Amino acid sequence: MRQTLAALSDQPLSTAVLETRVDLSRTRLEMLLKVLDSDGAAKRVKGGWIGTGAEWVYDRERHQRIAAARKAEQQAMLDYLGTRECRLVFLRRQLDDPDPTPCGRCDVCTGTVWSPEVSAEVAAAAAERLQKPGVEIAPRKMWPSGMKELGIPVSGRLKADELAEPGRAVGRLSDIGWGTRLRELLAGPDQPVPSDLLDAVVRVLAGWDWAQRPVGVVGLGSRTRPHQLDHLARRIAEIGRLPLLGTLPPAGERPGTHENSAQRLAAVWEGFDTAALPDLAGLDGPVLLVDDLVDSGWTMTVAARAVRRAGAPAVLPLALALAG
Ligand SMILES: [Zn+2]
């Protein structure tokens, strides 16, 4: 909060510019600005936010009151599940209706009990749908605003010859189907990728409607999981009978937590030793660029740009997992 307040001045600053100065997620930054606004210490004006210069103090009592009200709301949601009275009466009482009447239609009013049974056929169809691997990784097309403030010379749209194509991941970390398996793998030791996940990668490759078949594989190097990523890129090359053209070794990351796009991009901007890439100018088709996890997407964006700049005509990002 104090960091956000200190970043404000009497000149309007956009949220995007503020993101380059405070390492907070967009959501959290906007929430803090709203609080500072309602406390009179910040103000939204044309072109962004200004500090009013008014002294700001943390109102402990008020925030404790709000926290207690939120706790009561959470309890009310739990009570709603187990209530023996009409559901609508319960909801209307929550909204301070002094005289609610039963709706006559809800499960309590009609005495209906919904069965949790599911037919084997429906369960099998749902399981097949959940186990089908493959989600799209949408490539980043715009650089975050204000990167020049962080010393990084990019703005606006990514150049056409630096873009990645839409990629694929086996699944999202939050998926019911593959999520648990992928979360376990990425939280586990730096070991070879197990065969069930390699099979899933093969199914993703088989189902990929790319415009042109890839002609080679480039792996991303990793500081934290070097063996797993190396193994993954090698196995994909073997399975697809494609040459492993090279890897992009990690060159380090700027420290910090990198909560927003601008900070995240700045952290990975010089994250790879691009000199280690071979000349890819002679290729007549796309390169599969392999990583374990695509989170904000900036690592993949910066790596794909490096591979394009080394001469690859197109880049197809392939990852085990997509965050979110
Ligand atoms: Zn009812």
User: Which pLDDT tens digit goes with each residue over 264-275?
Assistant: 888 888 888 888
C-alpha torsion angle, residues 27, 32, 37, 40 (rounded to 10): 180
CA distances from 3 to 22, 24, 29 (A): 7, 10, 10
Q: Supply the mean pLDDT for the chain.
A: 91
Distance 319 CA to ligand 1 centre (A): 49
| Structure tokens that stand for 42 in this block | 């910040």
pTM assigned to the model: 0.69
Q: What is the pLDDT of residue 256?
A: 64
**Whole-angstrom distance, CA of residue 202 vs CA of residue 32:** 45
Whether residue 258 is predicted with pLDDT greater than 80 in this model: the reply is: no
Q: How far is the CA of 106 from the centre of ligand 1 (A)?
A: 4
What is the tens place of the pLDDT at every residue in 4-29?
A: 888 898 899 998 889 988 888 888 99
User: Ligand 1 centre from 110 Cα, in Å?
Assistant: 7
Token code pair at residue 175:
């998926």
Rounded CA-CA distance 292/294 in Å is 7
CA 16 to centroid of ligand 1, rounded, Å: 48
**CATH number for domain 2-51, candidates 3.40.640.10, 1.10.10.10, 1.20.1050.10, 1.20.1260.10:** 1.10.10.10
244-248 and 216-220 beta bridge pairing: parallel
CA 158 – CA 302 distance, rounded (Å): 11
CA–centroid distance, 254 to ligand 1, in Å, is 57
Please enumerate in sequence order all residues whose Cβ is within 8 A of that of 153, keeping only pairs 6 or more positions apart, or say none. 147
Predicted local distance difference test score (pLDDT) of residue 222: 84
Q: Show me where the domains of the chain are located.
A: 2-51, 60-110, 133-322
* Rounded distance from Cα 94 to ligand 1 centre (Å): 15
Q: How is domain 133-322 classified at the CATH fold level?
A: Rossmann fold (3.40.50)
Give the distance (Å) from ligand 1 centre to CA of residue 71: 26
Write phi, then psi, for 315 (nearest 5 degrees).
-130, 130
Identical fold between 2-51 and 133-322: no
Q: Is the pLDDT of residue 105 over 80?
A: yes
With helix as H, strand as E and coil as C, how does the chain read? CHHHHHHCCCCCECHHHHHHHCCCCHHHHHHHHHHHHHCCCEEEECCEEEECCCCCCCCHHHHHHHHHHHHHHHHHHHHHHHCCCCHHHHHHHHCCCCCCCCCCCCHHHHCCCCCCCCCHHHHHHHHHHHHCCCEEECCCCECCCCHHHHCCCCCCECCHHHCCCCEEEEEECCCCCCHHHHHHHHHCCCCCCCHHHHHHHHHHHHCCCCCCCCCEEEEECCCCCHHHHHHHHHHHHHHCCCCEEEEECECCCCCCCCCCHHHHHHHHCCCECHHHCCCCCCCCCCEEEEEEEECCCHHHHHHHHHHHHCCCCCEEEEEEEECC
Please give the share of the chain, as a percent, with pLDDT higher than 70: 98
The residue type of 132 is K
* Å from CA of 96 to ligand 1 middle: 17
Of residues 149 and 204, more confidently modeled:
204
Distance (angstroms) between ligand 1 centre and the Cα of 85 equals 7
114 C-alpha to ligand 1 centroid (Å) = 15
Range 101-113 average pLDDT: 94
The single residue listed with the structure tokens 């002094």 is 98
Backbone angles phi, psi at 142, to 5 degrees: -120, 140
What distance in angstroms lies between residue 84's CA and the mean position of ligand 1's atoms?
Answer: 10
82 C-alpha vs ligand 1 centroid, how far in Å? Answer: 14
CA atoms of 293 and 319, how far apart (whole Å): 6
